[in-house]
Each structure stands twice: as C-alpha cells, then as structure tokens.
C-alpha cells in the first residue's frame, strides 16, 4: 500500500510526517519505519511522526526514532507536527495534543512555533555534568572549543557507558554570551549527532540556569541547524511554563511505494 508522507525540518532536525487519522499505518512495523528513515535507501530522517486521532484534544503525536522504535518526546518534532496540523486544516493558530509524555499546547505564527514543554522539578548535578528529563532524558556537560569537539565518539561513550542499554541523549555546551549558548547533541535512537534537538536545548537552557551560568529566563541556543529560544519561569520548586520556540518548515511531500 502506498503511503503519502511529508518531509519536515526544524532547525535541521528532520522528520517524516504521516497523517494517520485513518489508522491505516502499520505501527508495529519497526522495519518499515527504519527503512523510511534510512538516508541511503529511504527518505532520510531523524525520526518518523504519526498524526493520529484523539478523543478529547485535536490530535495525538506518535514518535519513532530513526531506528524504528517508539521513543520519548521530541521537541522539534512537536513543533513540526503543529505546523503539519495547520497544513491539514486541523488547527488555525493554537494546538493541543497528546504525546508520550502527556499533553502539550502550541501556537504557530507563519513558520514560527512555540511549544509548551513539561515542567521540570528534578535536576541532578555533579561537578562535571547535569542530568534532567525534559520529555526525554538528557546529559548536559560544558566543553571548550565545541566546534572542534568529537561529539560522535564522546557522546556515544557517555550514552552507552554511563546510561546503559536504555541510554540518554548527550548534550555538549559552550557559553557564547550571558544568555546564549552553543549546543551539539548526540541522540540515542538516531545513534549519531543531529543538527538540533528540541528537548536537548530545553535541557541545556534549564541546566545552565540551574547552575547559575546564566540568570536569564529567556535563553538563545545556537545549534548546527539554527537558533532556538527557550523561555521559562523559575522558582524554588523548579521550572514552569517552559516554551521551546523556533521555526518549522515543510520541505517536500512524496509517496512511499
């Protein structure tokens, strides 16, 4: 059966989007998902996202990593599916949808999407790194000379040796200004560096504020794929009203046959 799809990217984090409101896509076919995401023999993507029906809100987001397995929350994917929902006529400016980590709201103006992320109350800090969950688990560590850093090998090592088979995403960070940081991320499931990671930059912004590397509650994150903004309200209980803001772009449409 031919499958209609749309290719999206959000600051270089790219996804295959499929309208699965008729529930015809075989969600158990992990091999098919990995084939579609393959950059040499398929469409090529960091992940595949299904837009599906929901009983009480506008839609459900079901996200697969490039390895074909269902995964935790993807922030840039959440922004892209919001853009896709507007393209399909499901929403106009505001969206409410359910993902694997719960309910999310989002707003869209032209191609700029602001996605509300989950509150964060637990952050583990050591002398060398922070660990927190922003919908996906993230390791955050500061380095020097980020542009020359061996993100693939160092990220893979931390992902496997520190976090075991379940793994975690690994973010390497360098301060650029008091409220601006450069970020590169090794993503589990993709098992490589990606050009951008939405839950990753969210984790970095919160970790940098928690460690007092910045006092700002609106932080710019420069990734290899572009710039994102993270806003939040911080108090003694944690981080609330967390917003991930950046562009989402429909690149092309096609048919898998």
For residue 240, the cross-strand partners are 233
Predicted pLDDT of residue 131: 98
Residue 97 and residue 127 in one domain: no
Distance CA 116, CA 96 (A): 10
State the catalytic residue, choosing from 51, 74, 170, 228: 74
State the catalytic residue, choosing from 73, 120, 151, 197: 197
Contact 36, 15 (CB under 8 A): no
Residue 98 and residue 156 in one domain: no
Mean pLDDT of 68-72: 95
Residue 89 and residue 197 in one domain: no
Nearest to 80 by CA among 244, 193, 247, 203: 247
pLDDT over 90 (residue 152): yes
Q: What is the CATH number of the domain that holds 216?
A: 3.10.310.10
Residue 241 and residue 128 in one domain: yes
Residue 88 and residue 137 in one domain: no
The answer to whether residue 88 sits within a structural domain is yes
The answer to whether residue 196 sits within a structural domain is yes
Residue 143 and residue 233 in one domain: yes
Distance CA 214, CA 96 (A): 31
Residue 13 and residue 74 in one domain: yes
Give me the domain span that covers residue 226.
123-247
Residue 90 and residue 134 in one domain: no
Each residue's pLDDT tens digit, 17-51: 999 999 999 999 999 999 999 999 999 999 999 99
Domain count, the chain: 2
The answer to whether residue 191 sits within a structural domain is yes
Write down the H helix ranges in 88-211: 151-161, 198-210
Active site residue 197: yes
* End-to-end CA gap in the chain: 7
Predicted pLDDT of residue 1: 85
* pTM listed for this prediction: 0.96
Each residue's pLDDT tens digit, 102-140: 999 999 999 999 999 999 999 999 999 999 999 999 999
What is the overall mean pLDDT for the chain? 97
Distance CA 42, CA 178 (A): 42
The answer to whether residue 114 sits within a structural domain is no
Residue 21 and residue 42 in one domain: yes
Distance CA 83, CA 222 (A): 22
Distance CA 146, CA 183 (A): 8
Each residue's pLDDT tens digit, 191-200: 999 999 999 9
Residue 138 and residue 241 in one domain: yes
């Amino acid at each position: 059966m031919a499958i209609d799809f749309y290719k999206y990217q959000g600051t270089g984090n790219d996804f295959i989007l499929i309208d699965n409101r008729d529930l015809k896509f075989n969600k158990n076919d992990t091999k098919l998902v990995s084939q579609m995401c393959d950059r040499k023999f398929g469409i090529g993507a960091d992940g595949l996202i299904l837009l599906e029906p929901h009983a009480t809100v506008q839609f459900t987001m079901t996200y697969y990593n490039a390895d074909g397995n269902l995964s935790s929350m993807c922030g840039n994917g959440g922004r892209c599916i919001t853009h896709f929902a507007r393209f399909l006529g499901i929403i106009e400016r505001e969206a409410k949808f359910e993902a694997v980590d719960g309910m999310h709201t989002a707003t869209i103006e032209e191609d700029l999407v602001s996605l509300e992320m989950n509150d964060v109350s637990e952050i583990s800090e050591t002398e060398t790194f922070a660990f927190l969950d922003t919908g996906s688990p993230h390791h955050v560590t500061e380095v020097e000379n980020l542009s020359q850093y061996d993100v693939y090998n160092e990220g893979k090592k931390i992902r496997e040796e520190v976090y075991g088979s379940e793994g975690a995403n690994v973010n390497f960070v360098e301060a650029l200004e008091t409220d601006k940081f450069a970020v590169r991320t090794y993503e589990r499931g993709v098992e490589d560096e990606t050009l951008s990671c939405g839950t990753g930059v969210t984790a970095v912004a919160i970790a940098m504020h928690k460690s007092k590397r910045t006092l700002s509650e609106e932080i710019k994150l420069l990734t290899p794929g572009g710039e994102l903004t993270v806003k939040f309200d911080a108090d003694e209980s944690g981080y609330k009203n967390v917003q991930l803001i950046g562009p989402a772009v429909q690149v092309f449409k096609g048919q898998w046959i």
